[in-house]
């Protein structure tokens, strides 16, 4: 095997300025990606970043790799075509909640259901930041924004629900201000073969500041967030005394030590089970909010199955080349 050159974060940093607003959560995401890439063992010339339109979609400019800045909502389509044509490449898609789930929603769900081996970073700040504060597909119901002065009247998407509903095999949710966990999750997403969707709860300091703070703020986080670890019970709380159990068809929060509840009663997280039921409930749940890898299930990738069809067609057809095609059947020569 070809030896991969040892890379560092600096190998992925560009010389030009990074132009996001001061305090934007995108800086943390960029740093985490640049820290993660040297650890995945892929040659730099094999890595490609694709984006659509939005604040998140400036990402390829700030990565010292190959990249495509495409059209609004069309990053998923370009990334899908690229990976299908060049399955040897390590393809990443940087997109936002508006870019991926509004104008790009159709491409987004089909990338997922086809299980194309692409790593998708969804920057979810629950607002349109680049166009100055209109509500997006993930903006909470009733929110006052530039385009909803009387409050939104649309039910928002939860990205995890959308991913699992589209037959997704990998979904993780992370927080922009937790770079170590973000970095670890990115490495896990890359290791997964198939469409890997990572939702990053990102803060837009200008148009939707502290939108996630009521859940993940420093003072409330421990009681509002359950950190998922494969094979470990879903326990949370400042006192480590709360947990999740299955109550009929729903997840329920219980307190350990009350009503005879012990740690043995708490659900153990299994991210690899093919049955998506618990994964869907975790993705949908808002209290506590599930952080970490929610689902990671192995399945054949689109590009692998496509290549198998191509190889079979080449092996069984009588016509092997374009030259043979042009000189087969009824032909005539002009002299």
Over residues 222-252, the pLDDT tens digits come to: 999 999 999 999 999 999 999 999 999 999 9
Residue 57: partners with Cβ closer than 8 Å, 6 or more residues away: 51, 69, 75, 94, 95, 96, 99
Q: Supply the mean pLDDT for the chain.
A: 95
Residue 176 has pLDDT above 70, yes or no: yes
At 197 the pLDDT is: 98
CATH annotation of 9-211+300-304: 3.40.50.970
Interval 177-204: pLDDT, tens: 999 999 999 999 999 999 999 999 999 9
Structure tokens at 262: 């012990």
Q: What are phi and psi of 28, to 5 degrees?
A: -65, -40
**How far is 255 from 263, CA to CA, in rounded Å?**
10
Residue 2 has pLDDT above 60, yes or no: no
At 334 the pLDDT is: 82
Percentage with pLDDT > 90 across the chain: 91
Question: What average pLDDT does this structure show over 42-54?
Answer: 97
**Single pTM value for the model:** 0.94
Percentage with pLDDT > 70 across the chain: 99
Question: What average pLDDT does this structure show over 44-63?
Answer: 97
Residue 15 to residues 10, 12, 102, 121, Cα–Cα distance (Å): 10, 10, 33, 23
At 292 the pLDDT is: 98
Residue 1 has pLDDT above 50, yes or no: no
Residue 267: partners with Cβ closer than 8 Å, 6 or more residues away: 233, 234, 243, 244, 245, 246, 251, 278
Residue 4 has pLDDT above 70, yes or no: no
Interval 276-328: pLDDT, tens: 999 999 999 999 999 999 999 999 999 999 999 999 998 998 888 888 888 88
**How far is 118 from 195, CA to CA, in rounded Å?**
5
Residue whose entry in the numeric block shows the structure tokens 């201000």: 177
Residue 175: partners with Cβ closer than 8 Å, 6 or more residues away: 181, 182, 200, 201, 212, 216, 291
Residue 58 has pLDDT above 60, yes or no: yes
At 3 the pLDDT is: 61
Where are the domains positioned within the chain?
9-211+300-304
CB 47 within 8 A of CB 90: yes
Q: Quick one: which of 6, 74, 28 has its CA closest to 204?
A: 28
**How far is 183 from 145, CA to CA, in rounded Å?**
32
**How far is 238 from 117, CA to CA, in rounded Å?**
38
**Minimum mean pLDDT among 95-109, 123-137, 237-251, 318-332: which range?**
318-332
């Amino acid at each position: 095997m070809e030896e991969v050159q040892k890379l560092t974060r600096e190998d992925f940093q560009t010389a030009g300025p990074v132009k996001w607003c001061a305090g934007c959560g995108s800086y943390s995401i960029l740093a985490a990606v640049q820290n993660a890439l040297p650890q995945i063992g892929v040659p730099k010339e094999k890595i490609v970043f694709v984006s659509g339109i939005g604040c998140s979609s400036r990402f390829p400019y700030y990565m010292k790799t190959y990249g495509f800045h495409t059209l609004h909502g069309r990053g998923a389509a370009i990334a899908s075509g690229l990976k299908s044509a060049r399955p040897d490449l390590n393809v990443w898609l940087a997109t936002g909640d508006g870019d991926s789930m509004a104008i790009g929603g159709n491409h987004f769900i089909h990338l997922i259901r086809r299980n194309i081996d692409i790593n998708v970073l969804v920057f979810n700040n629950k607002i349109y930041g680049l166009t100055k504060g209109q509500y997006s597909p993930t903006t909470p119901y009733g929110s006052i924004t530039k385009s909803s002065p009387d409050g939104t009247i649309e039910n928002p998407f939860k990205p995890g629900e959308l991913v699992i509903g589209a037959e997704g095999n990998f979904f993780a949710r992370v927080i922009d201000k937790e770079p170590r966990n973000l970095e670890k999750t990115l490495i896990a997403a890359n290791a997964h073969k198939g469409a890997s969707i990572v939702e990053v709860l990102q803060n837009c300091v200008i148009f939707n500041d502290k939108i996630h703070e009521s859940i993940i703020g420093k003072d409330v986080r421990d009681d509002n967030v359950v950190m998922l670890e494969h094979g470990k019970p879903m326990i949370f709380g400042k006192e480590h005394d709360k947990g999740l159990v299955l109550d009929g068809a729903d997840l329920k929060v219980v307190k350990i030590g009350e009503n005879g509840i012990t740690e043995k009663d708490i659900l153990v997280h299994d991210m690899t089970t093919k049955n998506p039921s618990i994964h869907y409930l975790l993705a949908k749940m808002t209290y506590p909010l599930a952080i970490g890898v929610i689902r990671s299930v192995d399945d054949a990738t689109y590009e692998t199955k496509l290549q198998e069809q191509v190889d079979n067609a080449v092996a069984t057809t009588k016509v092997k080349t374009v030259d043979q095609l042009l000189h087969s059947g009824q032909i005539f020569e002009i002299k």
